[in-house]
Amino acid sequence: MIVELASEASVEGASVLLTPELGLCGYPPRDLLLREGFVDRCEHELETIASSVPQGMLVLVGHPESGPERGGRCYNTLSACRDGQVVARARKQLLPGYDVFDEDRYFQAGDEPAWVEHEGHRIGLLVCEDLWQADDVREQTNYEVDPVASLVELGCDVLVAISASPFVAGKHERQCQALGRLARRHRVTIVTLNRAGAEDDLVFDGAAIVANPDGTIECCRDPFGDQIHAFHELGKPYSASNAEMPPDQQRFLALVESVRGYVSKTGNQRVLIGLSGGIDSAVTAAIAAAAIGGENVIGVMMPSRHSSDHSLADSRELADRLGLAACLEVPIESIHHSVVESVRQAGGALGPLEDGSLADQNIQARARGIILMALSNAHGGLVLSTGNKSEMAAGYATLYGDMCGALAVLGDVLKMDVYGLANWMNTNAASCGFSSAPIPESSITKPPSAELRPDQVDQDSLPPYDMLDEIVRRWIEEEQSAIRLVEETGFDSEVVNRMLRMIDLAQFKRDQAAIIPKVSRRAFGRGRPWPVIARPGAAPAWRSATSAS
């Protein structure tokens, strides 16, 4: 692939081709790097590429490179290939260990800057964090070296950085600002390329950016764009503008990329989604339809005796709007009744199983999980779970029930942001690939309800979602203390205390959840390795700040 791309780029008049960080094997390879022969195979492929690229062209390839100790940690390397050989190697110097990164588990740090002379320019070579130094994610780091400054001191007038920088809403704008500042400060041209596509829980926007010495920015490929434009005449000013994407559009594009990548890379062609008529399942189905086509999405309605008529009507309307392959109706009442009777007979001595109790409600949710997984096993297709981040945080989800699935599409999207996504998709239907507004208005406007007991609404068990979202954002994404949360929001301390306890107690559920695509600064999953056995909430939360020890 890289050789073919190099040939195409050469025909277009380009003399340099960039590939993403670890582009030869994909990012993140994780423990594949520990498997015998894996890194050796990558190095062999690099030699093949170096011997095959067009004469005179500089091809920059990201790959793992064996370290000095056989079987030890390898290097995360950017190799410059030209005229049949590798002419320079830049080994990543800064190895992030925050958020989803665990790079010192696999890599050892390089200790020397690397550059290559090409067509009258001294080009400094950087790998991801060597350039960003966490400035784009606002993490606190304590790096002892500055690879950018080192290359500038060595006379580099162009810096090239390859990245596999996971998507976070708003991150692209911060990267453009950081690049502009760096280029202006050092009076150099900076060229960056990020990986595109999705890998498990990570999404990559594929952006290609050039920062000119005066700080102006040119995007050769917009985030999630379809084409990469050749960049010519390094060092000459550009007057490109970068209109910021609305956060809802960013989340939409990232989640579409996540679903498309997960489905295709696992060898599947279609998905199944439980349709409740509510906002979460509607938005999940719309994202899936945008990613792989409505004809590859199967909706499954699973009504109980508590389901409202509008739930079924809204689900059918959604299926029509999205052009779903099918909208099946599989009632759960017989399953529910059978399980309830079996549990009552088996556990009679332990006490009654009451109608409408939490156990009774969870039986209904788990009946739906059984149906979805049975359809998946029998007819193929991945199950997408539909819970949002607010519900996942509070534990307002049933393990082995509505949490069933391969991918929790909205698991990093707060409830109010789900509404934002729905309204944005309806307003921008054509740009999303829909012929008309995809989400039924009733799904947006009606009070959210699990419909597991009579007249139930979410707010029976949870505070208003705008309040819950703010608690989740501050407690999870910002890691604020309980004291600060209460003082800055003015929320009732008893409500906050109850929610923090619920959030921490639900960790055992999240540890068993489907993969959650990361679209925020701090998502549930491997970027937040939280202990299951931990004291919930914050014990001294409600002492005043002045009296806290």
Query: Is residue 119 flagged as an active site residue?
Result: no
Dihedral angle, C-alpha 423, 427, 429, 431, nearest 10 °: -110
Q: Report yes or no: 24 and 63 within 8 Å, Cβ to Cβ.
A: yes
Preceding omega of 28 cis (within 30 degrees of 0): yes
Q: Chain-centre distance of CA 279, in angstroms?
A: 20
Residue-wise burial string across 282-307, b where 16 or more C-beta atoms lie within 10 A, e elsewhere: bbbbbbbbbbbbbebbbbbbbbbebb
Helix (H), strand (E) at residue 89: strand 85-91
Query: What is the rounded distance in angstroms from the CA atom of residue 418 to the CA atom of residue 432?
Result: 16
Burial of 25 (0-12, 13-18, 19+ CB in 10 A): middle
Residue 475 is classified by DSSP as: I
Bridge-based pairing of strands 297-301 and 271-275 is: parallel
Catalytic hit among 65, 74, 81, 92: 92
Per-residue CA distances from 403 to 38, 442, 514, 516, 528 (Å): 35, 24, 7, 11, 19
Q: Tell the burial category of 540 from Cβ atoms under 10 Å away from its Cβ (0-12, 13-18, 19+).
A: exposed
**Catalytic residue from among 42, 81, 128, 176:** 128
What distance separates the 2 farthest-apart alpha carbons in the chain?
86
How buried is residue 416: exposed, middle or buried, by Cβ count under 10 Å (0-12/13-18/19+)? middle
Using alpha carbons, list the distances in angstroms from residue 431 to 325, 409, 424, 437: 22, 20, 10, 11
Decide the pairing of beta strands 202-205 and 208-211.
unpaired
Pair of tokens at residue 88: 């320079």
Task: Tell me how crowded residue 381 is: count the other CB atoms within 10 A of its CB.
Answer: 22
Q: Which of 191, 250, 201 is nearest to 101 (CA)?
A: 201
The question of whether 156 is a catalytic residue gets the answer no
Q: What is the DSSP letter of 104?
A: G
**With contact defined as beta carbons under 8 Å apart, do 192 and 163 qualify?**
yes
Active site residue 128: yes
Half-sphere exposure of 306 (CA within 13 A, CB side): 17
Annotated catalytic sites, by residue?
A: 21, 92, 128
